[in-house]
Structure 1
Amino acid sequence: MSGIGMSLRLDRIDLSYTGTPVIADLSLEVRPGEILILTGPSGCGKSTVLRAFAGLLRPDAGQVLADSTQVAGTSRDRAVVFQDNALLPWRTVRSNIELALKLRGEPRAGRKALAERWIEEIGLTGFADFLPKSLSGGMRQRVQLARGLAGAPRSVLMDEPFGALDSQTRATMQRLLVDTWQTHPTTIVFVTHDVDEALLLGDRVAVLGRAGEPLRALLEVPQPRAVGVDRSQLRAEIITALDHSGDLAAL
């Protein structure tokens, strides 16, 4: 990794999706090396904002900045991890990870050993030669995480990556994400509907309102990821912000 991650910033952006306005006049800064959570009701534009950060969607107005440089397209410095696994189905676990290493310019001779190291780190030793179709949903998400980070991005943009997992697998993946992020520091923007997941993972939580509404809240998480800290007051603040948006579906 280069440094501890990049800064990301939205400067008064308007965004639309398939011609429909979704975000209006939104400003938001992501600090280098932090995990920023984006939450809010369905249809408020969380995934649309993530696509703008990734360079997959150009704003109708305003600017998207990465380390103070305007984002004009995708970059290997800004990796994306989606909920629906985007692994190449004809490539094995090792080969999917090796692809990320190839794209970052890693010499061919060292890719296999590096991929094996990632496979061990994500707890999939023995599955290097498996195709994605032979893996469970949680295992595929592990590979996605490894592939996203193996490319040494300075930011990782995650769109509800654990939303389709059962509760036990989801808890395992949450711990794995934090452990991997602490070992390989980068900036993470993480979209979720789940308030408890937001409080578990985030340094800060940004609550978006419905389409066209401004940012509802931007809250610091006290002692992020520390065990035993009472965050009930912050949880209540997030719920109030969601309620103000007219939607408590995140609970």
Structure 2
Amino acid sequence: MTMRRWSWVGACSTGTSHLKAGIGCDDAGACLEASSPHGPTLVAAVADGAGSAPLAGLGARIAVRSICRSALAFVGRGGRPDEIDDALVADWLDGMRDRLDRAAQRRGQARRALAATLLACVVQRESAVVVHVGDGACALRLDGEAGWLVPSWPAQGEYAATTYFVTDDPEPRTVVSHVAGTVAELALFSDGLERLALDFAATAAFAPFFESMFPPLRKAAPGRQRPLSAELRTFLDGPAVTGRTDDDKTLVMARWT
């Protein structure tokens, strides 16, 4: 029997508001498949740098690299998603915040200058975990099911149009959500895509968005799909998306093939 593996695509797109202001994209994302004693493991992350933070893009990149590094080390030691609890995630975030501190100090800044949200997942054959700080969201579909689930909803901060960041003191507001069962498909996205991918009135995934996005990936071989990722970037840069949002946008999609 052929072992099932993951196929995935991902792209970041600079928002039109950033282009007009002459600044770059403050989002970051990553997706990869790791070997573990429990079979192929998907590790994915998306971070969105705070618009008010002068080093937002750097903060997002550090957040993504740090959480992926911690997750890969964990699964490499034989860890399972259902063993990733609040305490372990707090340790991972402590390490991330140390890296952010060092990066800020080298540039003569406070850590909040690298403020970013964070969304990450670790997925194995029969379980998954989603780590969420701030806005953006993860939507997933279980094997054999038609509906899409959103394990944790985008968080709004104390004031309108604000959210939470990994740099918050004394510690970030973090939601750790466990999912039992085989994840067939999943998507992680930054807040620039929330209004396209989520039904806020129903507090649910907007299924037509995902059903329109996944058909090319459903035909793909295992592994990272570079041509499809380039096509995804073109779509995110196009009028169908930029006509509805002027923010940076990051989308990572994966399928258990």
- TM-score under structure 2 length normalisation: 0.32
* Bigger Rg over Cα: 1
